[in-house]
Structure 1
Amino acid sequence: MRASGRLTLIVVAALMMALPPSPAPAAPGGHLAIAPFSALQLNGRFVLDLTTAARQSVRLTGDPYLIENLRIGVTQGVLSITRPRGLDLPRHETVTITITTPAITSIDLRGLIHASMTGLAGAAFSLTNNGAAAATLTGSVGRFTLISRGVASIDAGHLYANTVTTLVRGQGNLLVFARRQARITLYGEGRVEVFGHPPIHQFKTLAYGVISLK
């Protein structure tokens, strides 16, 4: 009996650990109570409006049932917001995520996402797209890394970076700004335009891609 009781406790504990993160509790004003984070991962159909500011805040607007079933959590400084599969959720509804944060170092986009990122700053910032993304970025950073595997329309022409590294696999139309160095690799279709006249630039294209200095 004791062995059976221990086994039951172990199974229950394992099931609890395997459960997805629950939606974060709402704070006054409709904002979510979120632990501090410096990176963001979105998986699903979202509109993102991110701005750097002195205080951190996260707010979700959209279909209440859809928002209630999102998986939200912070792990090792990464805020993850995921639209789960397999549930009877509205297919074409989009949740708008409004974020203010003192600092953000990386954003990972998966799914169908429209994004605006304003006032980015710091030594380095990276943006990764593994789906279909349209985004506008502004600010000033030391190093900007952009990786896209899928379909992307990214306007980072006003994100002023000293060094830009870009890798595109799939289809992409991108604008970037580099003061000193630009390393651009484009495998697939699309166009990358590099502003800032960086004195050091390395361009590599395969298939139907075009890379140009502006």
Structure 2
Amino acid sequence: MDYSVEYRKGGMPLSAFQQKYQDCATYLTYCQQCPNYNTVWSCPPLPFDVADYLEKFQWMYVIGAKINLSPQVIKAADTAEKVKAMGWDIVVAVKLAMEERLRRLEQQLPGSVSFSSGGCNLCRACSRKEGASCRRPEKMRYSLDAFGFNLTAIANDMLGIEIQWCKERLPDYFTLVHGLATTEKISDRMWERWEDAFELAAD
């Protein structure tokens, strides 16, 4: 098998989460340097005020995936092109599966909304580049980093994962950080049921 996925989760009141991890001025400046800026609907600039969007929620939960790559797949990615292509395929496969699980969880938690990790991958090319509306607004979710959240600190503090990056080779693992904002605290029993239903546990 090319990889295994280890899921982790954490949560706190949204106000505390914002105070600790949100810095719009700094992180949205980074977004402006990204090639996806103003070309993907899930990414900045967002078509609404960030504070207004979040004000109806009380809690923020984070769900992380540590995608552990096998030594074989790391060795097989022996060119820059393979590093990029193989890493992308693995990350997107896990990411899309997580997004689908979170959309199902939204249905069990009225008033909740999930957040993805990085730009949307539902379409081959985003309609925003053409100046058109999102083709799949019922499935598209905004990224946590689009709201100015520090994903590196979140992964470290709440999930116990130090993010690694691709350089000349594939890293030992990739990290995805997704979110779920709710109007009420999720009960321990609800989390346990969700873990059972969606296998949100160490593989």
Query: TM-score range, shorter-chain basis?
Result: under 0.3
Q: Quick check: which one's strand share is greater?
A: 1
Greater radius of gyration (CA): 1
Q: Quick check: which one's helix share is greater?
A: 2
Report the TM-score, using the length of structure 2 for normalisation.
Answer: 0.21
Q: Which has the higher contact order (CA 8 A, sep 6+)?
A: 2
Report the TM-score, using the length of structure 1 for normalisation.
Answer: 0.20
